[in-house]
Amino acid sequence: DTEVTQTPKHLVMGMTNKKSLKCEQHMGHRAMYWYKQKAKKPPELMFVYSYEKLSINESVPSRFSPECPNSSLLNLHLHALQPEDSALYLCASSQDRGFWEDQPQHFGDGTRLSIL
Amino acid sequence: DQQVKQNSPSLSVQEGRISILNCDYTNSMFDYFLWYKKYPAEGPTFLISISSIKDKNEDGRFTVFLNKSAKHLSLHIVPSQPGDSAVYFCAATLGQGGSEKLVFGKGTKLTVNP
């Protein structure tokens, strides 16, 4: 039972499509994160939002566009993706920026994205 | 350049025995270390953490040991149960006011045999 909900669970899209991934949490967390995980690799940070403002962009290509409409919701807009962008996209949230002991990042189950 | 390394991709143990998962790191600025467990088709679940000022943290069957001089930490699971079978990720971060970035190792797949 995850407290971070990601939709859809699976997404197949062509390289010219525009789609969005959605992440929602109702734990009152003020920091939200997007990670990308390729097969047999660890999760890699893409973006961090803190208090609904983008605070970290790990040099992610502009075809990935994050959006934080409110403190509970985080979107990742996708456009003109490449086949190598196929991966598991994980959303996480935490009480606040940084790591405080006993306040770790909580992850959703991810969206498995396939680019044709 | 991998800052967090889990050199064993897999580990197999018998139910009831101890599981020891190892992790090495290179960045001496890391302040906190965490272990996450991941089942297939689910996101990582936080398991236990340790601050760099401690050398041991225990939570039920799970104990994490930190050896700062060796830049090494380990997760002990005693006794191991079949439900513990999962991929275990070691992760590290800078502390309060520092980076929000969790740096993960590649993971170790633990199989606990009944």
Tens digits of per-residue pLDDT, B24-56? 999 998 888 999 999 988 899 999 999 999 999
What is the rounded average pLDDT of the residues B74-100? 86
The residues near A52 (Cβ < 8 Å, ≥ 6 apart) are A68, A70, A71
Does the beta-carbon distance from B49 to A56 stay under 8 Å? Answer: no
**CA distances to A12, A43, A68, A74 from A19, in Å:** 10, 22, 16, 14
CA terminus-to-terminus distance, chain B: 38
Predicted local confidence at residue B1, as pLDDT:
67
Q: Is residue B6 within 8 Å of residue B23, measured between CB atoms?
A: yes
From B78, B111, B74, select the one nearest B90 (Cα to Cα): B74
What is the rounded average pLDDT of the residues A85-91? 96
pLDDT band at A92 (very low <50, low <70, confident <90, very high): very high
Residues of B with CB under 8 A from a CB of A: 4, 31-32, 34, 36, 41-46, 49, 51, 89, 93-102, 104-107
Question: Is a pLDDT exceeding 60 seen at residue A91?
Answer: yes
> Could you tell me what percent of chain B has a pLDDT over 70?
95
- By CA distance, what is A110's nearest residue in B? B43
Burial class of residue A10, CB neighbours in 10 A (0-12, 13-18, 19+): exposed
CA distance A48 to chain B (A): 8
- By CA distance, what is A107's nearest residue in B? B43
Q: Is residue B63 within 8 Å of residue B75, measured between CB atoms?
A: yes
Number of separate helices (H) and strands (E) present in chain A: 0, 11
Predicted local confidence at residue B26, as pLDDT:
95
What's the rounded Cα separation, in Å, for the pair B2 and A98?
Answer: 21
pLDDT band at B98 (very low <50, low <70, confident <90, very high): very low
- Tell me which of A26 and A99 has the higher pLDDT: A26
CA distance A15 to chain B (A): 25
